[in-house]
Structure 1
Amino acid sequence: MSSTSSAARGALPRYARKLAATTALTALMAFGAAAPAVFAQTSPAAESTASRPWMNTALSASERTALVLKEMTLPEKLTLLFGYFSTDNQWQKTPVKNYVYPEKGLPFSAGFVPGIDRLGIPAQWQTDAGVGVATQTSPTPRQRTALPSGIATAASWNPKNAFAGGAMIGNEAWMSGFNVQLAGGMNLMRDARNGRNFEYGGEDPLLAGVITGNAMKGIQSNNIITTMKHFAFNGQETNRFTIDHKISDQAARQSDLLAFQIAYEIGDPGSIMCAYNRVNGFYACESNYLLNEVLKQDWGYKGYVMSDWGATHSTIPAANQGLDQQSGWAFDRSNYFEGALREAVNNGYVSQARVDDMAGRVLWAMFDNGLFDNVVKGDQADKIDYAAHAKVTQTGAEEGIVLLKNTGVLPLAKTAKSIVVIGAHADVGVLSGGGSSQVYPIGLSPVKDEFGKGFPGPKTWYPSSPMKGIQARTKANVTYLDGKDLNAAAAAAASADIAIVFAEQWTGESIDAPDLNLPDNQDALIAAVAKANPKTVVVLETGGPVVMPWVDNVAAVLEAWYPGTSGGEAIARVLTGEVNPSGHLPATFPASLDQTPRPILEGDVKLDNDSHPHSDYNIDGAAVGYKWFDKRGAKPLFAFGHGLSYTTFQLSGLSAQASGKSLTASFTIKNTGKLAGAEVGQVYISPVGDAGWEAPKRLAGFEKIMLKPGKSGKATITVDPRLLATFDSASKTWNIKAGDYKVILATSATEPLSEVIVHLDAQTLNVKGQ
């Protein structure tokens, strides 16, 4: 799977390309998904283009932007550059100081940027986030459909699945009155304890970039601006507002920035959100390197950069170093881009040309995504097809569930007379991740908040019961225990044919996990149950990797992540064999924290009497995840790319050859078992000699193929040349070293099946990899 070149994107605005994009949904039908039933509707004819020539849809987004921009006053331009938090504080105990709720904002939502009626410029109504239409803390939250977590979508290894999910939540956002969705979480997993790993796409630049790019593409097919985030290196939540991550340009370009670059080229997000943290000494939202040099100059990004809520720290430095819009006032200490920015322009500290560029970028993104021509109509939630959307999220969950271990107990035997389900409220629902991305389900949580400390809570469960799903699909007597009494759980397991322990790890924005163990004595629970019954199945609902001291003593392990509002049904269908698991890990599961680059979480170390903590990302550099394990010769608990099935596959016929500035590889997958199923063929590249790579091998491509028993499918992959190259910072070029390269066909980073040798000539590519 290779990323889409930015050169391939047409000059027409996105809304004119929407129909062709949305037809990709039909391809997902092979995996059983229902397409979203409703998409953005065209608004009535706009005012005559004679008085407002920028409303001429035959013109490009750039031409329309230039026409309206020259009619705008300075105050009108500045209006587009300042956003408000759109949550009414009147009901809160401690209202934000100097905060004024935006009159036309949608309540309990992420943000609002006023429009300009005189010129027909629509307002921006902003909602979180990547799994659906979120509601900020509210006594009456919106009730919407939630996708599986971002890492679960990445575990599907299926770009069509990512697009379908994005199209679905984008539809719900538009029908809820929003035209900006703060979705597109792109930070690589540098630490498995990161509290927001569940929002992101794992540890590999190609996989994360392709999956997140397609999710954003799906969202934007609804005339909605997406916001790729958090740019960049927002790798932990501990000290997230102040920590300074040190990393070299080469390592950055070959890791996190490459992931962002691939996602940008595929998804073409209208906005990019700069992060809270510092990078090499500068706040991300004041980083000339990140915002001007890399994003706007090197990649040619035309959209606008918005700040994270509370990530703006200045007026003049932020504006001149590339920030285009201050978002979420009053999370910042001051309204930097309001009166202060106007004063800075009047005094010449920020040029008029820079303000025109800032406002022009916002306008361009609005034109390019159809916000002028398909004006959002306000709340139409009563028209959302929740039944169809439930099928989309259920299919997404089923594709992302990973069967990590199975000694034959799964799928659940139809002859089992008794099954005991233990723990994690599996009798009533499935867990979701916490923080600003929280989507509240229809019917709300069936479990009372167990966090009880405010943000990132409430700890929310979706009312989709795995136990009820199992009961509906087996003839066994299925009972439930909460697992708090280990002796009672062990006794119940001993008297049952099969024991299924549901274990959970709740993570959320603003807090990191203290370690990789399951919390609340759940490891001891699993050990006790497994000792009592050798046919013990463990279902994990986690935000990312966990260690498993009990793994050798259980019969099966299923990683379900946070599976969304239809997650209970999805888990039950996989456990019972109604669905064959096809997920593969998008991140390495370490055997212990000692195997990771930073066993002790960085963030409390201060250097040279600085007032802020530091972190050294040059420890692992571009060798993130499985690359670090390869480099160190460490054996993980479960490898990147690992995933089992109820059927068997044969991967064969690997061939590869040089092609232009890169190479192509082909292989065949055959279903040699008795059940239909999908397999992911993974292609890794390893230089035979010293090519200056950060690690022995890199993922270079992948393809997921659904096959009936006895059937075969062939895949051909064109490798992105950047995945064969190293980045030279001085010349800003990607360089492929001449020599022999091993092309490896595998089912995980540690499970190679075959390899061929290809000779590549030396190649030099520009900063975009072309």
Structure 2
Amino acid sequence: MARRDVLSIALAGTVLIGAGSLPGTAHAQTSASSQAGALTHEDMLAARQRAEAIVAQMEPQEKTHLTWGVMPLPIRPNSPPPPEGAIPAAGFVPGIARLGIPNLTETDGPAGISYVQGLRGDFATAMPSGIALGASFDRDLAYEQGRTIGQEARAKGFNVLLAGGANLARDPRNGRTFEYIAEDPLLTGQVIGANIAGVQSNHIVSTIKHFALNGQETGRRFVDVKISDKAARESDLLAFQIGIEIGQPGSVMCAYNKVNTERGCASEYLLNKVLKTDWNYQGWVMSDWGAVPGLYAAWNGLDQQSGAGLDPDVFFDDTLLNAAKADPARMDRLDDMNARVLTGLAATGVLDHPVKPGGAIDWKAHADVALRSAQAGIVLLKNADDILPLASDAKSILVVGGNADFGVLSGGGSSQVHGEGGPAFMRPLMNSGAFASMTTEQYQRGAPLEAIRKRKPGAVVRYRPGRYASDAAALAAQMDMVIVFANQWMAEGIDVSDLGLPEGQDAMIAAIAKANPRTVVVLQTGGAVNMPWLDDVAAVIEAWYPGQEGDEAIAGALFGEFNPSGRLPITFPRTTAQLPREDVPGMIEFDPIAFGSTVDPSLKLETDYNIEGAEIGYRWNAKEGHKALFPFGYGLSYTTFRSGDLKTDGTSASFAVTNTGARAGRTLGQVYLVSRDGKPRQRLVGFERVTLRPGETKRVQVSFDPRLLAEWNGAGWTIPAGTYGFALGENAEDLGATVTVRLKARSWKD
């Protein structure tokens, strides 16, 4: 089927699902390479015709083969044996051999093929977390990472990857922040769309998830999110919309939470109105595991009940068929459910290119992608007196904390991936519940301590675990330099209650910095953290959860083997008082909800997103006048850059970037809408990574997605007539001179 360059699609912000481009808008320019392309909406429409022809051949009983699946894992005592053809993994849906429909073999992602406690006896390439990918601001890399993971999925016999995390980081304490991309809809949509396209280039399906407004983990099965249609369309839904336009995922996974009293997987508003009607999405909606409240979810837009054994009952089997037999309209709906699954399978190539376990994997090439991804996501936050790269004359180095003698930290839950040999180290959080083994703090193999020692063979490199601050500080005073590894572990199902580093790490860093001001802090976090010791340390590197090559990436950054270029995809607030909600709703009242828990309808929990509406992260700070600890888009380099000469007509912009330092490096051009008719209104409207030699200047051009200038009017988008101000930004708070443009009013529908 026809394909087109994924990066052209990613930057063509005006491509609308089911509609043409908005007249008068230009595509952005990019230096990205032309790799294999993404599916188009036209491909999906053509696949729908083929799908309907297959449905017409189905016997009535076959019409519930594709509408529900199981989780073929021994997660509970006396779990039934997995069905024939299933692979130990997240999900399995039986196919229909006589019609050429294969079994659907589903694995968790999105940072690699989920380890599932080693039950398959295999391993996979462990990529950096989603937020690290977001910090790269790199669409090319997102595509390549997705393509690599998709290759491994296919080689292992999987044809559906549960990837594509597109929820916005409304609150940095969300336990799944590490899986998602950013707080910004443009960055999230473009990066995740390219990533999905890369996965699907292997003729397998990628999902996009968790649709939608899935912003917290503690109480996720109970929370009722309150938000207006306008605010949702201009924030979280826009991120999904852009991601779907670019990647055309075969499936959308709905969420556990409620939205305005409707459960995400039974939401008439989200599934039927927004996704299928307004956006004309052609693929299928699968549930999250254990998120289906009843048969009525099928009438409200859900096409497939996933992991049905985790729900109160199997609703989409004979119960669904009998309801359809009794009502022609519901039989039409059942046919549509099947056609949507088959559309996703046909469009992505699953029907024509069956997967088979045992395919060859180029582990070395995939490790290289993991390394480059980890390097691109590292953010240099502080570098006083250019202490980094590490001085060649440092004769003694103390490494402290973070289990840096074992490996690098990874996020917990269904997305856990491990390379050969499994985890280097595990620490349990709890010892009860069916999923206790998944709720463990785990480390990838590859110890940063050894990577540092390898680079300083003639130096004394000592290690302290950091259990006692006094011990570490006493030794720190005797050393030339100190590198402290500080960890914030996050996991699916559990939010963090505050932004402090747990287990006394802040006090430890403060004591060490007092003893030795030449202290460098390496953060391995799932999101933002406070830094009460920031003024007292010499340098800070944010490494996130860097994946299996994290040890080499971190050491390479410390020793200057590459020039850090990552930028923050989320705001680091000074305190939780700067957030729209100072406390996580339900954190005190609700115990962490284990995977697969049945929803108790008597439990009530609400989170009001109307407080901030569409003004998330840096937008909220701009509205409220807050100054972040580190703003969105922030990141330093081992060289310096200058940007200027912004020119714009309100649909695109160009500007010049110069490397004013003595070392080659890569920077990020950022263009923001900053005002309308003189009133503050901040939006990232364009971005591009630029690589420059010392003294080199390049002119960069980006196009604007017009929806970022517009407002949702209830039926479509409107750009009000007025004067719009734009500015170049080193980050969301360090902005250049404003350039104004007078725009005429325009309105259009999705």
Normalization by structure 2: what TM-score? 0.91
| Gap change, CA 1:271 and 1:140, over 3 Å in 2 | closer
3-state secondary structure, aligned to 1:326: coil
Q: Give the drift of 1:5.
A: 4.7
Structure 2 matches for 1:240-319, cutoff 5 A? 240-315=220-295, 317-319=296-298
SS state at 2:607 partner? strand
Contact 1:434 1:458 in 2 (8 A): yes
C-alpha RMSD of the superposition: 2.3
Amino acid in structure 1 at the alignment position of 2:82: Y
- In the superposition, relative to structure 1, how do residues 164 and 458 fare at CA in structure 2: closer, same or farther (>3 Å)? same
Deviations 1:88-144 (A, max 9, x none): 35xx6x235xx552222102x000111111111111100001100003244555311
CA positional deviation for 1:59: 11
Q: CA deviation at 1:145?
A: 0.4
1:466 and 2:448 equivalent? yes
Distance in 2, matches of 1:142 and 1:95, equals: 24
Matched, 1:83 2:69: yes
The 8 Å contact of residues 4 and 266 in structure 1, kept in 2 or not, is answered as no
Out of 311, 314, 332, the residue aligned to residue 311 of structure 2 is 332
Determine if contact 2:207/2:253 at 8 Å carries over to the other structure: yes
Q: 1:361 to 1:540 in 2, by over 3 A?
A: same
Q: Does 1:652 find its partner at 2:644?
A: yes
| Secondary structure of 2:509 counterpart | helix
Task: From 67, 75, 90, give the equivalent of 2:53.
Answer: 67
Determine helix, strand or coil for the equivalent of 1:735. strand
Q: State the one-letter code of the partner of 2:532.
A: P
Q: CA deviation at 1:470?
A: 1.9
Structure 1 residue 291, shift from structure 2 partner: 0.1
Q: Check conservation: 2:44, 2:347, Cα contact below 8 A.
A: no
Answer yes or no: is 1:130 the counterpart of 2:119. Answer: no
Query: What's the offset of the Cα at 1:757?
Result: 1.2
- The count of corresponding residues between Structure 1 and Structure 2 is 710
Q: Which residue of 1 aligns with 2:573?
A: 590
Query: Using the alignment, how far apart are the partners of 2:211 and 2:272 within structure 1?
Result: 12
Alpha-carbon distance between aligned partners in 1 of 2:182 and 2:547, rounded to the nearest angstrom: 18
- Post-superposition Cα deviations, 1:238-277, rounded to whole Å, max 9, x if no partner, equal 1111110010000000010001101111111100001001
Q: CA deviation at 1:467?
A: 2.0
Which position in structure 2 is the counterpart of 1:728? 713
- Could you tell me how far 1:24 is from its partner in structure 2? 10
Structure 1 residue corresponding to 2:368, chosen from 388, 391, 411: 391
Q: Which moved more, 1:534-543 or 1:139-148?
A: 139-148
1:628 counterpart SS class:
helix
In the alignment, does 2:97 pair up with 1:105?
Answer: no
Give how far 1:603 is off. 3.1
Q: 1:82 to 1:100 in 2, by over 3 A?
A: farther
Deviations 1:291-310 (A, max 9, x none): 00000000010000000000
Structure-1 residue corresponding to 2:152: 172
CA drift at 1:656:
0.7
Partner SS state of residue 188, structure 1: coil
Gaps of 5+ in 1: 12-22, 29-34, 40-56
Aligned to 1:451: 429
User: Is the Cα–Cα contact under 8 Å of residues 17 and 280 in structure 2 kept in the other structure?
Assistant: no
Counterpart of 1:642 in structure 2: which amino acid? Y
* Residue among 621, 636, 651 paired with 2:628: 636
Aligned to 1:379: 358
Answering whether residue 663 of structure 2 is matched by residue 683 of structure 1, we say: no
1:203 equivalent to 2:183? Answer yes
Find the partner of 1:507 among 480, 484, 490: 490
Give the Cα separation in 1 of the matches to 2:18 and 2:271: 22
Instruction: Report the Cα offset of residue 483 of structure 1.
Output: 0.8
Displacement, 1:72? Answer: 0.6
| 8 A contact 1:583–1:643 mirrored in 2 | yes
Cα-to-partner distance string for 1:530-553 (whole Å, 9 max, x where unaligned): 001000000000000000111110
Distance of 1:26 and 1:106 partners within structure 2: 36
| Whole-angstrom CA distance in 1 between matches of 2:216 and 2:628 | 21
| CA shift in 2, pair 1:627/1:10, >3 Å | closer
Q: Does residue 417 of structure 2 align to residue 439 of structure 1?
A: yes
Distance 1:238 1:27, change over 3 A: same
The equivalent residue for 2:661 is 673
Amino acid at match of 1:190: R
Letter in 2 for 1:357: D
CA distance in 2, matches of 1:350, 1:612: 34
* 1:712 counterpart residue number: 697
Amino acid at match of 1:402: V
State the SS of the aligned residue for 2:356.
coil
Relative to structure 1, is the Cα distance of residues 448 and 223 closer, same or farther in structure 2, using a 3 angstrom cutoff?
A: same
Displacement after TM superposition at 1:755 (Å): 2.6
Any residues of structure 2 matched to 1:731-742 within 5 Å, and which?
732-742=715-725
- Unpaired runs of 5+ in structure 2? 1-9, 21-29, 38-42, 591-600
Between the aligned partners of 2:300 and 2:18, the Cα distance in structure 1 is 27
Distance between the aligned counterparts of 2:555 and 2:746, measured in 1? 50
The answer as to whether partners of 1:131 and 1:437 remain within 8 angstroms in 2 is: yes
Tell me by how many angstroms 1:471 deviates: 2.0
Counterpart residue number, 1:419: 397
- Distance of 1:159 and 1:668 partners within structure 2: 21
Deviation string 1:638-679 (CA, Å, 9 cap, x unpaired) is 001000000011112211114xxxx11001111111111100
Cα displacement string for residues 470-513 of structure 1 (whole angstroms, at most 9, x for unaligned residues): 22223432221111121111012111111000000111000001
Which whole-Å deviations, capped at 9, do the CAs of 1:172-227 have from their partners, x for residues lacking one?
11111100000000111111110000000110000111111111111111111011
Q: Which moved more, 1:293-302 or 1:440-449?
A: 440-449
Instruction: Tell me, in whole angstroms, the C-alpha distance in 1 between the residues paired with 2:354 and 2:170.
Output: 40
Alignment match, 2:325: 346
* Counterpart amino acid of residue 433 in structure 1: G
CA 185–254 in structure 1, closer or farther in 2 if over 3 Å, else same: same
Q: Distance in 2 between matches of 1:349 and 1:494?
A: 79
Q: Supply the distance in 1 between the matched residues of 2:195 and 2:678 (Cα, whole angstroms).
A: 36
Distance 1:482 1:748, change over 3 A: same
Deviation at 1:751, TM superposition (A): 0.5
AA at the equivalent of 1:330: G
Distance change >3 Å, CA 254–CA 8, structure 1 → 2: closer
1:428 to 399, 406, 419: 406
The 1:190–1:762 alpha-carbon spacing in structure 2 relative to 1, beyond 3 Å, is same
Identity rate, percent: 48
Q: Indicate if the aligned counterparts of 1:726 and 1:735 stay in contact, CA closer than 8 A.
A: yes
